Amino acid sequence: MIAYLLKFNCKFCAIVCLCKSPLFIVASPEYIAQNGLPKTPTELKGHKLIGFSNIKSLNQWPIKGLNEVNLTMTASNGETIRQLALSGSGITCLSGFMVNTDIKSGRLISLLEPYRLIGTDRELINAVYYKSSSVAERIKAFIDFIKPRLTL
């Protein structure tokens, strides 16, 4: 389970951090060609910004000096947001596990790198499970197996 677990408290649950996936502010080369490259966080105000409609905490972008993001377009899941960015619809913030391949291939461009905050809670990829369930030992065994193999 990928979860943003700020203040998550469940006495019946176990939470294990599997790894981290850095966040990236990205846009397509086509979007940048048509709308210009934002060089500072304040320049984002003049751009089309894409974010999440259902979980507002996912719209807190890890950029120094950026307190609020005024979204132009929203969607309810990350893959839809990724596709909107790939199609040139705007700028968005997504986890590396979703956009690393796109950045490497040049389909998306990582923006505002000098302003990017590293090590935020949103980078965590966690496994959450009921520790008292009959399958808890199997889940723990799976986590012990998969954790060293994850490369995001």
pLDDT above 70 as % of the chain? 93
Q: Is the pLDDT of residue 19 over 80?
A: yes
pLDDT of residue 16: 85
Of 1-10, 57-66, 124-133, least confident by mean pLDDT is 1-10
Per-residue pLDDT of 82-140, as tens digits, reads 999 999 999 999 999 999 999 999 999 999 999 999 888 788 888 888 877 777 788 88
Which domains are seen in the chain, by residue range? 1-20+127-152 (no CATH), 23-117 (3.40.190.10)
Question: How far apart are alpha carbons 124 and 109 in whole angstroms?
Answer: 23
pTM of the model: 0.82
- What is the torsion angle, in degrees rounded to the nearest 10, for the CA atoms of residue 8, residue 9, residue 15 and residue 17? 40
Instruction: List, in sequence order, the alpha helices (H) in the chain.
Output: 29-35, 78-86, 96-105, 136-146
